[in-house]
Structure 1
């Protein structure tokens, strides 16, 4: 098992990949640097090899697919994930690796939003989106992750080998953050400097399309990880609607002894039944999620024992 692996997912980064690889070779000379090429059509692969990186390929398009491949293939005590666009300085890598190796942190988040991100990033909707996503996740999951969508992170072996990669694209960072919080893993933040892409380097992100994917990912993961809160909120909302329809009919009945609006009464009854169904669905699913957490802890213990055995040998 390697001590530190630097993982760089890449798609058409010939303008910056040489500098990124060389910077990391200087910062962490003991680390093995992997560049995972995701169907680049420029000279990314050639330049990365010349710079001294180990280059591998992932042919399914999308950052999530690349990360799934990296996490499956590489065994290391500490993983550092970094983008190939030279927006994240390598100088913070040593501190992030030490938190994983010395202090047993499972995920170290490179926090851009507390430093230079809003000054360097020239896309105002990206800035707004990052702030909204951070606020939403920290509120829904009761966490304190300062930068949800940063591509600069360090991971432990336990995190990497227990993280189920479901997303295919850039929403993968959101998925990582929620997984770490839900599984009660140790998360720490390191404030980093951010610099915008150099001239000639183009972002692969679409502000609106990828932003909508991230929002849908948050909703999907909240439903999966917090089913009782999700379906309980739905049940509460439906019950309010049902009561709003039922009360006028009931008040009319009390005053006149008649029920003139049978269709409204029937609709309110069906909505109330839907509310009850949502409530009990959330209750059942929350029991399943709790069982999954217990199974996860058992799996985590097996992985920890594997690491201890390898160290002893």
Structure 2
């Protein structure tokens, strides 16, 4: 059973060696793959010197999601049976990897997520703490899965699960992979994990508002892509409800003998038409979604064949 631990990294020369050392302490059997996402420092050289088995580098910084995607593909090419993703900043405890992968070894899970218990973290800034909470609640609503910590990057995948995932985002993969996994009916388990204080500035969340905007856009796109019927029906409620309320308002005044308020009737009609058009669009999108699932199944079979060579 080949277990690969992949580490997407960007300008982490001061911590990458400690992460690699701790992975080796967890087990000498784990293969370590570092994806240097165009670092401007010595991350690539330090990772090699620290003993990573494979170190690859993007020519330029493509973003965490694309570094994660490349790492998955490289692990699959190298015949990995289980793939563990861990950050390069030494905030996660790599000694927990054996516990993380056990449900996959026991065939009880396809994906194992971790829960950092962010509300209990005294070292996490207030903005990030409640930003994480909001993002998790939104991901929970969109995916329909009771995820406890959608932003945790410390997670494990079976080979089959990794083959079925397709990363489209350029920014972050954490929410998208959960939404996809639920859509593909993969078995997901969750367990608590240690999360240490970070030394230095976050490479991903340098600006909280920028992160919220980009991550939020990724969630919305994934919602519409994988649950078009639910997404568009949810959107249609607003114009429909407003149209009904304005229509009832006009009817009330009309029955009271007031022949005015025609503007309310016109606006109500426009809103109801928009609402019904969105509903029609929702069913069209749902039909297209069925075709997407067929294409993704074909892609899964193609990747399975390609990475088995």
The answer, yes or no, to whether TM exceeds 0.5 is yes
Contact 1:88 1:194 in 2 (8 A): yes
Rounded Cα–Cα distance in structure 2 between residues aligned with 1:203 and 1:251: 57
* Structure 1 spans left out of the alignment, 5+ residues: none
* Equivalent position SS for 1:103: coil
Please name the residue that 1:238 is paired with. Answer: 239
- The alpha-carbon deviation at position 194 of structure 1 amounts to 0.9
In the alignment, does 2:112 pair up with 1:108?
Answer: yes
Runs of 4+ that moved beyond 4 A? 294-304
Rounded Cα–Cα distance in structure 1 between residues aligned with 2:96 and 2:114: 8
The CA deviation string for residues 16-59 of structure 1, in whole angstroms up to 9 with x for no partner, is 11111111122121121111111212221111111111210122
Call closer, same or farther: CA 1:248–1:119 in 2, change over 3 Å.
closer
- The alpha-carbon deviation at position 296 of structure 1 amounts to 4.3
Please name the residue that 2:126 is paired with. Answer: 124
Contact 1:137 1:218 in 2 (8 A): yes
TM-score (ref. length: structure 2): 0.88
Cα RMSD, aligned residues only: 2.5
- The alpha-carbon deviation at position 226 of structure 1 amounts to 2.1
The CA deviation string for residues 208-246 of structure 1, in whole angstroms up to 9 with x for no partner, is 210222223222222222222222222222122112222
The CA deviation string for residues 180-230 of structure 1, in whole angstroms up to 9 with x for no partner, is 1222101111211111123xx321112221022222322222222222222
- The alpha-carbon deviation at position 253 of structure 1 amounts to 3.6
Which of 78, 85, 98 pairs up with 1:81? Answer: 85
* Equivalent position SS for 2:194: coil
Please name the residue that 1:139 is paired with. Answer: 141
* Equivalent position SS for 1:271: helix
- The alpha-carbon deviation at position 104 of structure 1 amounts to 5.2
Please name the residue that 2:22 is paired with. Answer: 23
Which of 153, 159, 180 pairs up with 2:161? Answer: 159
Please name the residue that 2:37 is paired with. Answer: 38
- The alpha-carbon deviation at position 301 of structure 1 amounts to 6.8
Rounded Cα–Cα distance in structure 2 between residues aligned with 1:301 and 1:46: 36
Call closer, same or farther: CA 1:8–1:120 in 2, change over 3 Å.
farther
Please name the residue that 2:271 is paired with. Answer: 271
Please name the residue that 1:211 is paired with. Answer: 212
Contact 2:75 2:83 in 1 (8 A): no
Call closer, same or farther: CA 1:254–1:122 in 2, change over 3 Å.
closer
Please name the residue that 1:248 is paired with. Answer: 249
Please name the residue that 1:57 is paired with. Answer: 57
* Equivalent position SS for 1:155: strand
* Equivalent position SS for 2:121: helix
Contact 1:8 1:84 in 2 (8 A): yes
Please name the residue that 1:11 is paired with. Answer: 10
Contact 1:62 1:168 in 2 (8 A): yes
TM-score (ref. length: structure 1): 0.87
Contact 2:8 2:37 in 1 (8 A): yes
